[in-house]
Chains A and B, each alone.
Chain A
Amino acid sequence: MIASLVATAMHECGALVRATTATAQFSAIATLTTCAGLFVLMRRLSTRWREASS
């Protein structure tokens, strides 16, 4: 799951660099931000999961 997020983020970084319109730039930034948000969420989930498992 982390890998999927990182892969999406890498792809969006490439899209941001190559974007020619403001819409494409905004779109890439929005998706990158969401990826970062999901990454943080996954981290919190893993912490809770470890707490529950221990």
Chain B
Amino acid sequence: MALVVALVACAAVAVVVFPRAMPIVALEQNLTPALARAVADSFAAAHGLPRDGRRTAVRFEGDDDVQTYLDFEGGADTVRSVVAGRDHALFRWGVRRFTPGDAHETRVALAPDGRVLGFERRLADSTRRPALSADSARRLAEVVRTEWLREGSDRWRLAASSYDTKAGSARVDRTFTFERADRRLIAAPLRLVITIGGDVPTAARRTAAVPEAFERRYREMRSANNQLSTIAGAGALLLMIGALLVLRHFARTGEIRWRESWIVGGVAGLLALAAGVNQLPLAWFDYDTATSAGLAQASWVAVAVFAGLITALQLALTLAAAEVVSRRAFPQQVSWWRWWAARGTRQVAGRVLTGYALAAFGLAYVALFYLVTRRVFGWWVPTELVDSPNLMATRAPWLAAIAVSLEAGVWEEALFRVLPLSLLSLWVGNRPGRTRWMALGVVVTALVFGFAHANYQSWPAYSRGVEIFLDACLWGALVVWLGPLATMVGHFLYDLVLFGLFAAAGTEPAYRVSAAIIALVALAPALAVGWKWWQQRGLVEVSDADLAGGMAAPEPPPALEGAPAISLTAMSPRARWMALLLGATGFVLSVAGSRSPTLGAAATASRSRVLAVADSALAARGINLRDWTRLARTTEESFSEWRRFLVEHRAEPMAATLSTSYKPPSWWIVRFVRPHGPVEQRAEEWRVRVLPDGRVLDVRHVLPDAAWRDSVSVDSARAAARTALRAAGIDVPMLMESRQTSDRKADVKRARQRVDIAFTYSDTTVHLPGDALARVRVEFAGSEVVLVRRSVELPESFRRADTKRETKRIMVIGGCVLAVVLLVVGGIFWTRNRRAARRHDHLFNRRRAVVTLAALGALQLLSAANNWPATLAGYDTAHPWSRFLAGEALQTVMSLVLLGLVAALWMVFDGLRRRVGMPLFAEGEDSWRLTATAGLGLAGAQATVGGLVALLTGRRIPGAPSLDSLDGVVPQLDGVLDLGQSFFIGVLLLGIVAFVILLAARSTARRLLLTILLGALASVAPGVMVQGEITSSHPVLLTVLAVSTLPLAYLALRTWAATNVAA
């Protein structure tokens, strides 16, 4: 009774306080997706915008950046007043009409009240249109503003104008940026950017230009949230590793209840899959028309299936681990898998009721928490729109809320509370101070759970963590006291209410139906108990058979097949000679192979030389180097798009021609930053790009928007650009100006705007095929030239066709890799349950395992330390330096989890080996010599195949010189430090595949068939990746060699096994 009173009281508090405590935004919504489509259509018809697209996509969107700015700088009331006003639409509907495969499309943006905010008529770059003069285009833009968008001329002034000459068609697109003279959103100027493509309006877009100073300050704040979350994430990772160790431990005793765990995981996975599929239609809004529509849909479905599988897997594994330790630790609690059967008992009914009370208490608590902390301490949480029009546009709006709540309610309770607290309880046992130990456990798990949520938008960074920590302490105590049923029900209901609130935002039938379904699901646990209660005419006591400790003892696992999986024979003298011969051939081919040529500047400059060159480049600009901290790393561009373009146009020699100017494949980047100043000051930096041979490529001065530089006219800037180009050694008369942009950067403190002009030229001396252009870009910040950079611009037609081909390739590669992984993993599980171990020898005892892992860990840390300079060069100047260092150090330590992967692979490898019956090392007197011979043969086979492949192929375009190792403090150690793990992981992966084949198939013919199938699948990925990039005069021989790599490795391993026995 007391629980019912508490439940009602908490629910009442939550209903009354919640809307006052949380910054909620109400929106006057006049549109539905169908109405938005109709309004957009009539706008397009009225203004001659194309409406012939075969598909339409509608989506509701929020302007998150502007909302955060208004929220933080002005508060929730400012957000509400902007939402209620007409100056800037924080929420908008987007309507897109397009045809898959066609670059042309039409988009219209609408305000929730039905006003047209803007539009886009996308033209292909190759579409020709008559040219308009700058004045005519401006007049047309003003017509668009005043007549199309109903924005009167008195409030808007022209702030900037730009033009762009499109490659392939020479169409000139002119862009005019108008700015509201009478209104800003705090300090953010309101802009309307109108583009005239040739002689037709092609775009009108409204923006509120959030000051860069705020964006940087906000990113700095967010880095604190993220860091707290990462630290807690390390705790969560440890819990997941703990779950796997628990599973490994109890798998031997047969105590794990896999079936039930998989059923729950499967249901959650199916719900997640259904929720993903339900939202697929929304994905059309972001669909790239360059890709095939069928492939795009297949990839979205694949992502949804993958998400469902991951949900099922993580939930099933965590549940299985948490349940088995909970059963051991708390045998007096009702068994998890008897909750349903025992729903008519006083114990289960009480816990379900407690769950409802807990959810109501949680909602009341969170409302009161933010009411107090926001008003008294000024803590911040973002404003939220309760409505979710995108969800409402789907067939089953309620599905996502149910799926997410179920997964969170069950998985998070099992992982963050049940598993660690049960393990702690087992460890503490009945030793003195048990209560204190358990209390400490509750606090620590609540800290991990609470601060794992710290990356949500909130300020101070710890606010969200504190809120959830306090609640989680109660939940943890309840798990220890009552078992997890109450908290699982409470967590599920709490999340369901929050995620399902959107259903209360409207009164239309769709909202009502969603609300009814969500309410029914929320009531389901109570209805299940209530129905049983009514049937029994009361509640009964739980029987011993329903208790966790009353479960039947595990049945002994069935005897596995002990038939030999492999018949081991001695290695014949001929096989030994073959091994030696292969070793010699492989060695000769490895050593005698000619040095493959590299593209562009050779990697002849050392790190110190590169730094000295960069120093000189800045000193020449009069920069005092003592004010700056220098960071440097190498960069290699993937270059693949450029390669494919040149191969398609048979213009491979251009790669070498432009490799030290317009298209370098690799370079050093030396940054000069000031990491110790305030966030505004840290925005300024210098970046010097240096070629691998020590020549300076270009220098960039990154200036914050607030740094003042005098404004210059476009003509003055044009003259200054020519001077800068000459200084950079570029032949100015041969350049043709093809693009000029102007951008205004706001200095919030002084309420003035710097005008940044940029020019893009085409180099008429470089003749590229297929409308590609060699570009030179000169950027100004006010009167200062901040960058002169050369690059290549590929034509839109090629980029679209290439995207289409690449998407197809990625799908093929992904499918093949997935097939190999599924076959091998499936094979591991299949053989595990069907083949008995035939040997019981172990290499690693506990001490040796710890020493090996420690050695690998030390190597990994040394490797990270060696690469530390490159890690530092990835510094984001919006983050405080010390926080960045701490974050990187934490990530380095967390990467030691990889050792767990090595250990897991070893366990799988060794388990399979013992099932095959293969000794780890050769047995007998002369064994080492024979092992070495067999190893030489296997390595020789690999090197021979590799050498032959290299002989048969030539790259159409040489690769970039590898600069990776130069990043290290001691570059010479790069290979050594990475050797440990690559050696282990490579061997283990190959061994696992071979053992699975040996165990799964019984005859040599079947084994070879399986090997060839896996070999063919495995060779598809690298084959497709280099498609078009390599040449060969013997393509058939090359394909046979590529496909036969895995079968050869298998045969060689088979020989190795025989050797071990023979000795």
- Which residues of the other chain, A, contact B595 by a CB distance below 8 angstroms? 18, 20
B927: which of A20, A31, A46 is its contact (CB, 8 Å)? A46
Residue in B935, B940, B1052 whose Cβ sees the most chain A Cβ within 10 Å: B935
B1056 CB contact (under 8 Å) in A3, A18, A53: A3
A2 to B604, CA, bound (A): 34
Contact between A23 and B587 (Cβ–Cβ < 8 Å)?
no
Contact present for B983 and A4 (CB under 8 Å):
yes
From B919, B937, B987, give the contact of A1 (CB < 8 A).
B987
Say yes or no: A14 contacts B921, CB within 8 Å.
Answer: no
A4 to B983 alpha-carbon distance, docked (Å): 7
Which residues of B in the span 920-948 have a Cβ within 8 Å of any Cβ on A?
A: 920-923, 927-928, 931-932, 934-940, 942-943
Bound Cα distance from A7 to B944, whole angstroms: 10
Q: Which residue of B lies closest to A12 (CB)?
A: B975
Given contacts A46-B921, A50-B927, contact A7 B939 (CB under 8 A): yes
Once the chains bind, are B942 and A7 in contact (CB under 8 Å)? Answer: yes
Chain B residues within an 8 Å CB radius of A28: 975
A6 and B927 form a contact (CB under 8 A): no
The stretch that binds A, out of B270-278, B474-482, B966-974, B1010-1018, is B966-974
B590 within 8 A of A: yes
Report B746 CB to chain A, min CB distance, Å: 48
| Contact indicator per residue, chain A 1-36, by CB within 8 Å of chain B (1) or not (0) | 111111111111110011011010011101100110
Chain B 590-606 interface 0/1 with A at a Cβ cutoff of 8 Å (1 = within):
11011100000011101
CB neighbours (8 Å) of B966 from chain A are 23
Chain A residues with CB under 8 Å of B603's CB are 21
Give A34 to B986 CA distance when docked, in angstroms: 17
Contact at B975–A53, with CB atoms within 8 Å?
A: no
The A contact surface, by secondary structure, is: helix
Q: Could you mark each residue 831-860 of chain B with 1 if its beta carbon is under 8 Å from any beta carbon of chain A, else 0?
A: 000000000010100000000000000000
CA distance A50 to B930 in the complex (A): 15
* A2 vs B1053: C-alpha distance when bound (angstroms): 11
- Beyond A3-B942, A7-B943, A30-B973, whether A50 also contacts B587 by CB under 8 A is no
* B26 proximal to A (CB < 8 A): no
- Asked if B976 and A34 make an inter-chain contact with CB atoms under 8 angstroms apart, the answer reads yes
On whether the beta carbons of B935 and A3 are closer than 8 Å, the reply is: yes
Bound-state Cα–Cα, A49 to B920, Å: 8
Are A46's CB and B922's CB within 8 A?
yes
Q: How far is the CB of A49 from chain B (nearest CB, A)?
A: 5
Q: Are A3 and B939 in contact, CB atoms less than 8 angstroms apart?
A: yes
**Shortest beta-carbon distance, B352 to chain A, in Å?**
56
**Which chain B positions have C-beta within 8 A of A38?**
979, 983
For B919, the closest partner residue in chain A by CB is: A53
Measured in the bound complex, the distance between the Cα atoms of B436 and A27 in whole Å is: 55
Choose among B931, B934, B939, B976 the residue that contacts A46 (Cβ–Cβ < 8 A).
Answer: B931
Contact of B583 with A6 in the complex, beta carbons under 8 Å: yes
Let me know if B843 and A2 touch, CB within 8 A.
no
Q: Which residues of B sit under 8 angstroms from A23, Cβ to Cβ?
A: 606, 965-966, 971-972
Please indicate the chain A residues that have their CB under 8 angstroms from the CB of B591 in the complex.
10, 13-14, 17
Q: Evaluate contact between A27 and B923: CB separation under 8 angstroms.
A: no
Mask, A42-54, CB within 8 Å of B = 1, is 0101110110010
Q: How far is the CA of A27 from the CA of B898 in the complex (A)?
A: 25
B665 within 8 A of A: no
Interface range on chain B (Cβ under 8 Å from partner): 35 or more
Asked if A13 and B590 make an inter-chain contact with CB atoms under 8 angstroms apart, the answer reads: yes
A30 surroundings in chain B (CB, below 8 A)? 972-973, 975-976
B965-1004 near A? 1/0 per residue, CB < 8 Å: 1100001111110010001001100000000000000000
Q: Which residues of A contact B928 (CB under 8 A)?
A: 43, 46-47
In the complex, A46 Cα to B594 Cα: how many Å? 37
Contacts of B983 in A (CB 8 A): 1, 4-5, 8, 38
Contacts of B269-328 to chain A: CB distance below 8 A = none
The answer, yes or no, to whether B694 is at the interface (CB within 8 Å) is: no
Q: Of B606, B923, B931, B986, which contacts A2 at CB under 8 A?
A: B931
CA A38 to CA B981, docked complex, whole Å: 13
Chain A nearest CB: distance from B862 CB in Å? 12
Interface contact B974-A27, CB-CB below 8 Å: yes
**Which residues of chain B from 626 to 676 have any CB-CB distance to chain A below 8 Å in the complex?**
none
A14 contacts across to B, CB distance below 8 A = 590-591, 593
Shortest CB-to-CB span from A8 to chain B, Å, is 7
Whether A50 contacts B921 by the Cβ 8 Å rule is yes
| Interface: B586 (CB within 8 A) | yes
Known: A10-B590, A21-B604, A34-B976. A49 touches B939 (CB 8 A): no
- In the complex, what residues of A have CB within 8 A of residue B940's CB? 6, 10
In the bound complex, what is the Cα–Cα distance between A50 and B966 (angstroms)? 42
- Chain B residues near A10 (CB-CB < 8 A): 586-587, 590-591, 939-940, 943
Chain A residues whose CB sits within 8 angstroms of the CB of B922 once the complex forms: 46
A9 (CB) vs chain B CBs: closest residue = B939
Q: Which residue of A lies closest to B1056 (CB)?
A: A3
Which residue of B843, B934, B939 contacts A45 across the interface (Cβ within 8 Å)? B843
Known contacts A8-B983, A13-B591; A3/B1052 CB under 8 A? yes
Residue from the set A4, A26, A31 with the largest chain B CB neighbour count within 10 Å: A4
Residues of A within 8 A of B932 (CB): 2
Q: How far, in whole Å, are A34 and B591 apart by their CA atoms in the complex?
A: 19
Once the chains bind, are B971 and A53 in contact (CB under 8 Å)? no
Known: A3-B935, A3-B938, A7-B939. A53 touches B923 (CB 8 A): yes
Closest chain A CB from B853 CB (angstroms): 15
Residue among B586, B923, B987 making CB contact with A4, cutoff 8 Å: B987
Report the nearest B residue to A21, measured CB to CB.
Answer: B604
Complex CA gap A43/B931 in Å reads: 10
Verify B936–A6 contact, CB threshold 8 A: yes
Q: Which residue in chain B gives the minimum CB-CB distance to A47?
A: B928
Do A27 and B920 have beta carbons less than 8 Å apart? no
B204 to nearest A CB, angstroms? 56
A27 and B843 within 8 A (CB): no
| Contact across chains for A4 and B986 when beta carbons are under 8 A apart | yes
Q: Which residues of A contact B1056 (CB under 8 A)?
A: 3
What is the CB-to-nearest-CB distance from B917 to chain A, in angstroms, rounded to a whole number?
A: 14
Provide the residues of chain A in CB contact with B943, threshold 8 Å. Answer: 7, 10-11
Interchain CB contact under 8 A, A45 and B921:
yes
Q: Are A50 and B923 in contact (CB under 8 A)?
A: yes
Residues facing A in B578-630 (CB within 8 A) are: 583, 586-587, 590-591, 593-595, 602-604, 606
* Cα–Cα distance between A20 and B907 once the two chains are bound (Å): 42
Which residues of A are found within 8 Å of B975, using beta-carbon distances? 12, 27-28, 30-31
A40 CB, nearest partner CB in chain B, Å: 11
List the B side residues contacting A5 at CB < 8 Å: 935, 939, 983
- The chain A residue sitting closest to B583, CB to CB, is A6
The smallest beta-carbon distance between B21 and chain A, in angstroms, is 62
Q: Kindly list chain A residues whose C-beta atoms are within 8 Å of the C-beta of B921.
A: 45-46, 49-50
Given contacts A17-B591, A21-B603, A46-B931, contact A34 B939 (CB under 8 A): no
Chain B residues contacting A26 (CB-CB under 8 Å) are 972
B937 — nearest CB in chain A belongs to which residue? A3
A4-B1053 Cα distance, complex, nearest whole Å: 12
**Are B587 and A31 within 8 A (Cβ)?**
no
In the assembled complex, the Cα of A50 lies from the Cα of B971 at a distance in Å of 39
Q: Is A27 within 8 A of B593, CB to CB?
A: no
List chain B residues, Cβ under 8 A from A53.
Answer: 841, 919, 923
State how many angstroms separate the Cβ of B619 from the closest Cβ of chain A: 27
* Closest residue on chain B to residue A31 by CB atoms: B975
Extra A-B contacts (8), CB below 8 Å, given A5-B983, A10-B590: A2-B935, A4-B986, A7-B586, A12-B975, A14-B591, A23-B966, A34-B976, A53-B841
**Can you sample 30 A-B contacts with CB below 8 Å?**
A1-B935, A2-B936, A2-B938, A2-B939, A3-B936, A3-B937, A3-B1056, A5-B935, A5-B939, A6-B936, A6-B939, A7-B943, A9-B939, A10-B591, A13-B587, A18-B594, A18-B595, A20-B602, A21-B604, A27-B972, A27-B974, A30-B972, A34-B979, A45-B843, A46-B921, A46-B928, A46-B931, A49-B841, A50-B921, A53-B841
6 closest pairs, A vs B, by CB? A2-B935, A3-B938, A6-B939, A46-B921, A7-B939, A31-B975
